[in-house]
Amino acid sequence: MSAQRTAGMASEAIELRNHGGRAVACALALCLLPSVALNAQDGGAAPRGTSAQEPAQKPPSGDPARPVQNGPPAPDSTPATNGTDTTPPQLPAGQRPVPPGGDEPTPEIVHTNVLPAYTPAYRSFADAALLLGALADADPTRARKFEIGATYDGRRVPAIEIATPGPTPPAERPTVFLFGALDGHSLSGAEAVLATVHMVLAAPDKLPSDVSLIAVPWASPEALDAIAKGGVSDGANSRPVDDDRDGAIDEDGPDDLNDDGFISQMLIEDPSGPWVRCADGRFLAPAGPLDQPRYLLVPEGRDDDHDGRYNEDPPGGVILDRNFPLARTSPWTDPRCGTLPLSEPLARAYADLVLARRAALVVVAQGNHGTLATPGGSAALAPLFAADRALYERITHAFESATGRSQSGVLTLREASGADRPGAALDWFAAVAGALSLEIAPWGPRVDHGGDVTARDARYQQPPSSDPARAQDVARTLSGKREPCETSRAWAAWIDNVHSGVGFTNWQPVELAGGVKGLVGGFEPWTILDPPKESLPTALRGVPEFVLDLVGSLPRVELAADGKRDGELVRLRASVKNSGRLPTGLGGACAARRESGVAVELVLPAGARLLAGDARVDLPRLAGEETSREIAWLVLAPAGSVFEVRTSAPWCASVAHKVQP
Amino acid sequence: MRAAVAIALLAASALAQDGRKLTMAPDRRVELDLQHYYTSAELKVALNALATAYPELLRLESMGKSRGGEELWVMTVAKQGAVEPGSRPAVFVAGALGRDDLYGTELALATILDFAQNNARDAALQQLLERATVYIAPCINPDLRAKVFAQLEGSPPSPGPAVEASAEVDFERNFPQQWDPVQYASSGPYPLSAPETRATVEFLLGRPNVAALQSFGPWHAREAGSAPSIAASDAEACKALVANARLLDVDHIAAPQGSLLAFGYEQLGAFSFAFAPDWGPLASTELPGGDSLLRASQGASAITAKLGRSLARLELGAAQVERLKGDQWQVRVELTNAGMLPTLSARGVERLACASPRIAIEGARLIDAALVAGERTQALTKPGSTVAVPDIAPQSSRVVLLFVEAPAETTVKLTASSPRGGSAAAEVVLR
């Protein structure tokens, strides 16, 4: 009984909340849990873009000619009793995976000192590492490839550091970090990081000479590599975890019950289930008091361990982006978050690296919300980041300009994702490491508008309301059936209007052991978690430009200092200007965070004595283009004394100025 | 102070716990002075001397190293027997986590010494160490102790990794449960950022048999009227332990957010206590004097022994056999927890902290099993040839029906075990 797994992440409800706290929810199964194509003939997966060398199989999802499956039910007599969980499925043993781009080779990498061309593509871990090496080799004076941490299966994770040669060692400069796909499934995020690295190397002036940039395109290699090879993963690493704490490990993974080549989702009729089907039968909504029939939502498969739950202990692992400490879920409620905060050595290596540097900006490229998200993975964390809302608004506008996208103002992680994001790295990077931290999701339901708007004929031209509260109000049709949530509508609009209706397998009945009735269906792979190959360039458009614009806007302190001597009495004064567009640090208060203000320090020469003023003055953070108040010192010093005034701020290179009054 | 901390392994002090009536001399293979504070070097010598002198009882290992490079010692105290120490219910004692319990090292050391010297002449102690295990980590924060002792001696702390390391993180804020970097700068950049706290947690996670944790006070009492921090049934189980003792459970103290005790109870589901000696009037920055240390040492070992004796203890009652048909039999057996604590705390059950009791059957094929609950019976899960039984409250029993198949006159061996309740075996003849 082989365990199988979809490419989806653990199922959970999507919640869209308005400021008043009302919620509209729909099934994540329909939004975040695509099924995975399995090659029915040779055991290989067949996601879109499969090359001509592949034997005839299910047409690729990207093929507009491909019909949506509405095949007959595939009964299954496997024993089952009662499903409760939605843990992601996985491929059966022996299935030969095929990369999302099919067997089409990625561009060959030749190591020279010429910058290789960058083409958006889905690559394997090895190909991505090769490309990173080639990029580093192209400009060895500025770039170096290095390895950071190790995965559970022992792979060293490649990273690149880019810094213009200069008097200040790169390790002492403000540092920009780019992490791709910490969530373990956003290959488009990994590509966004590679594209940005390429752009930095192609245009050296994009990176200020006093700033370092460290990029880890494949931040969660085990899961990403499985997906890139056409396999499946929910983003977890390969650490064996006894998810259901029954003493057996990985004993209840999903199965392809209907032999359609996909591991999909499964609805099981249950009078106390939390879901009902919507008016558009593809989608689910939370069940109300009188709604029937109700369903449990689980990954497709049998109850392999006969414990009454379906597929609750699949192979793997810990999702790195749930393993960070802030607002992390407990392991007894979500085994994917890890036994302890930063229990995964790789996650800890990232945390330690960021702590070891003067982290100015951290960009995590991942997700499928298609927007720019700011810290705040849970409602409880929102106050921690509220002080910087104005800053985030400006950055959001810049993101919209650079990418041509629009979003409804500043979105926290929770708002952008439509659900809590416990243990997200982004929150920790901001709250404790004190870095300006942003998540960019290259892919999302509103990213790819298609080329021909006049051809649209679908059910979902526009979501009925962008206001979740209103959406809740209108969430029932006249027939009394519920309407899907806005995110489901948006994906449906993309599938129907842009993608020729391809990308969703309609629910098909299956029979489980004990007479339990189920329905199998859901999104197909390479539909919503990552864009189809042909949509990847669109997903990346403007992202590198936006990131590098931010890098160019980092604060830069300029120190003005002078002195006036009257005999042995010297009056010194200094002020600091932030000539960058971003502030010198974050607002808000977190006791364990590094200071975000500006420090000014007077270094006295031998024989001098400070009469008035403090040798070190801590100023509040400076906004972009802001100048500090003047600081004055009164010093008794012999003639010819040379004073040094130094200033530093967490996101800025330190500056020193010598004064000889 | 210099004189006080000088190595003094010769001043004898074989402690006897309060109230014991002993008729034999202590087994003094090693003698330690318990009226001074031990440097890391002295502690290493003392612990190694003990482990070497009492190999049948003590095993010394290191959980890891401090940031200053000192070993984080842990002594496993358990009499050699048929059951491995790791399979017996256990108490974990942690000393010197922070500034408030620097004396914990000496109290922990005194406990090891007392157990080693007195178990042969104290039947209750001997019984405890035969059926349970006591893990004692005398010093979780050696770097901080070194720094404080240097300050007490009037010498400025010499620069070095130990001194630098001890300045940053408060270990009692660095454990994962309720870790709060927003409120407390000393909580560290992330939970378990200190190698000492990480080593401690990794040690504990590798030992699901740890049913109780003990550290040293003082602690602030939990505010009256504040929400209970412990499950009601767990509070009830702790009542007998905390009565008339300077032992406080996590329901009575305001365990700091991010403390070891909070982690122990909330994640491991281990009953967590602090022993707070009565030092009398003492400035918060002052360490207790030698005489006070000696007095407190006697209480400390008694408290740890009391905790150990309270651990869950599985017992199998006499089995009743009834022939059903042919070679099929019903065996009715009573599984009792004779301890003062449950086989797993209510919080531990919530946290799925460890497996519930199991009954393994040898000599017959297990067909099915059921739990008798009053007038009703309820089917039990049956992984292979074992039966999983729900956790058992203190001084309570569960009646289990085992349906087995074997020829008449077959001797069937039943073995009940749970990580925090120990094990018990019985044989039954099918007739």
Residue range A572-598, pLDDT digits in tens: 999 999 999 999 999 887 888 877 789
A128-156 pLDDT, tens digit each:
999 999 999 999 999 999 999 889 999 99
Shortest distance, CA A420 to any CA of chain B (angstroms):
18
Q: How many CB pairs under 8 A join A and B?
A: 62
Q: What is the pLDDT of residue A316?
A: 77
A589: contact with B, CB 8 A cutoff: yes
Three-state SS for chain B is CCCCCCCCCCCCCCCCCCCCCCCCCCCCCCCCCCCCCCCHHHHHHHHHHHHHHCCCCEEEEEEEECCCCCEEEEEEECCCCCCCHHHCCEEEEECCCCHHHCCHHHHHHHHHHHHHHHCCCCHHHHHHHHHCEEEEECCCCHHHHHHHHHHHCCCCCCCCHHHHHHCCCCHHHCCCCCCCCCCCHHHCCCCCCCHHHHHHHHHHHCCCCEEEEEEECCCCECCCCCCCCCCHHHHHHHHHHHCCCCEEECCCECCCCCCHHHHHHHCCCCEEEEECCCCCCCCCCCCCCHHHHHHHHHHHHHHHHHHHHHCCCEEECCCEEEEEECCEEEEEEEEEECCCCCCCCHHHHHCCCCCCCEEEEECCEEEEEEEEECCEEEECCCCCCEEECCCCCCCEEEEEEEEEECCCCCEEEEEEEECCCEEEEEEEECC
Flag whether pLDDT at A258 surpasses 90. Answer: no
Q: Which range has the worst mean pLDDT, A254-263, A333-342, A487-496, B29-38?
A: A254-263
Does the distance separating the beta carbons of B176 and A341 come in below 8 Å?
yes
Inform me whether the C-beta atom of residue B190 falls under 8 Å from chain A C-beta atoms: yes
Scanning B316-345 for CB atoms below 8 A from A yields: none
This prediction's pTM: 0.83
CB contact under 8 A, B192 and A340: yes
- Among A246, A432, A591, beta carbon nearest to B190: A432
- A88 pLDDT exceeds 60? no
**A649 has a chain B CB within 8 A of its CB:** no
Residues of A (223-252) whose Cβ lies below 8 Å from B: 245-247
Mean pLDDT of chain A: 80
Q: Is A593 on the interface with B (CB under 8 A)?
A: yes
pLDDT in tens, chain B (431 residues): 444 433 333 343 445 455 667 778 889 999 999 999 999 999 999 999 999 999 999 999 999 999 999 999 999 999 998 899 999 999 999 999 998 899 999 999 999 999 999 999 999 999 999 999 999 999 999 999 999 998 888 766 555 544 444 457 999 899 998 899 988 889 999 999 999 999 999 999 999 999 999 998 766 665 666 666 788 888 888 887 776 566 777 666 666 788 999 899 999 999 988 888 888 776 666 788 888 899 899 889 999 999 999 999 999 999 999 999 999 999 999 999 999 999 999 999 988 888 889 999 999 999 999 999 888 888 887 767 889 999 999 999 999 999 999 999 999 999 999 999 999 999 999 99
8 Å CB contact of A341 and B205: no
Nearest to B14 by CA among B118, B109, B108: B118
Q: Residue A271's closest CA among A286, A298, A292?
A: A292
Instruction: Write out chain B residues lying below 8 Å of A339, CB-based.
Output: 205
How close B379 gets to chain A, by Cα (Å)? 13
Tens of pLDDT along A435-470? 999 999 999 999 987 544 344 444 444 444 444 444
Is A339 touching B (CB cutoff 8 A)? yes
Percent above pLDDT 70 for chain A: 78
Query: Which residue in chain A has the smallest CA separation from B347?
Result: A332
Separation in Å, CA of B66 to nearest CA in chain A: 17
Query: Which of A330, A341, A593 has its CB closest to that of B190?
Result: A341
Of A287-296, A357-366, B26-35, B127-136, the one with minimum mean pLDDT is A287-296
Q: A384–B185: do the CB atoms touch at under 8 Å?
A: no
- Determine, for residues B190 and A330 on separate chains, whether the beta-carbon distance falls below 8 Å: no
- In chain B, what residues touch A326 (CB-CB under 8 Å)? 181
